[in-house]
Amino acid sequence: MNVVDASRQFKRAADRVPTPSFAARYLGRTVLAIGAHPDDIELGIGGTVALLANAGIRVITAIVSVPAEYELRTAEAKESAAILGSEPRILLEGACRRIEDLKNYQLVGLLDTLVREAKPAAVLTHGPTDFHHDHVTVYHASVAAQRVTQFDLFSYVPTMTRPVPVPFEPNAYVDISSTMDKKLEAIAAHKSQFYSRGLAFEFYRDLAKVNGRMVGVDYAEALAVDKIVFA
């Protein structure tokens, strides 16, 4: 059997197992996606956000800071959220700010306030192995927010506009075959990050294809489960 046949067989095997959707777990509740900067959420979990929103779930996409070109990047983030069907928030609103401008307790306070208000059933945030220090800082503040209320906590793949190989060990996958194109459309809304700098975002389709191959679907986003509570 050649490699192509083996892959097809795997896919058929996966198709035989009925899998409850990620969205089914969160129907009627709120899911909070957190990104340090505009475009992080789209790169990491744009397909998952669109999938949840399509199912009628309230998804808040919270961007902690806009480090440059505030008006432009805020407008791009709003356009992207409209594509994904999410409710956008900028936590450090009104001007360009960097996460490093905050003390850790201030960042923790921002996320505490958000989860206290939104009462999310799940939080999807950066992971601890990201190469970007801001992302890791946001991860730790998200972990701390569990003091305020209970929610499932997931980390998404390290996000970057230019690929940097850093470790990430996913143990959960979301089939985003139906929202793959929407994810790319949302990424493309961040024109200042991709077009003007000549960056190709087909990379994110490739990554989703590889993740999909791992679990027998066309396209998938990979998550690491930090905590999940079953009834």
Minimum CB separation of residue 170 from Zn ion in Å reads 19
Beta bridge partners of 60: 32, 87
With contacts defined by CB under 5 A, name the span among 29-37, 66-74, 93-101, 113-121 that binds Zn ion.
29-37
- Residue count of the chain, please give it: 231
Q: Which of 23, 38, 40, 204 binds Zn ion (CB under 5 A)?
A: 40
Token reading at 2: 């050649």
Residue 138 is a binding residue for Zn ion (CB under 5 A): no
Q: Which of 32, 33, 34, 36 binds Zn ion (CB under 5 A)?
A: 36
- Taking CB atoms, the residue at the shortest distance from Zn ion is 37
Backbone angles phi, psi at 95, to 5 degrees: -160, 165
Residue whose structure tokens are 């998952």: 48
**Residues 40, 135: Cα–Cα separation, whole Å:** 9
| Per-state percent for the chain, helix, strand, coil, to nearest 5 | 45, 15, 35
Residue 221 is a binding residue for Zn ion (CB under 5 A): no
Residue 42 is a binding residue for Zn ion (CB under 5 A): no
Minimum CB separation of residue 40 from Zn ion in Å reads 4
Q: Site residues (CB under 5 A) for Zn ion?
A: 36-37, 40
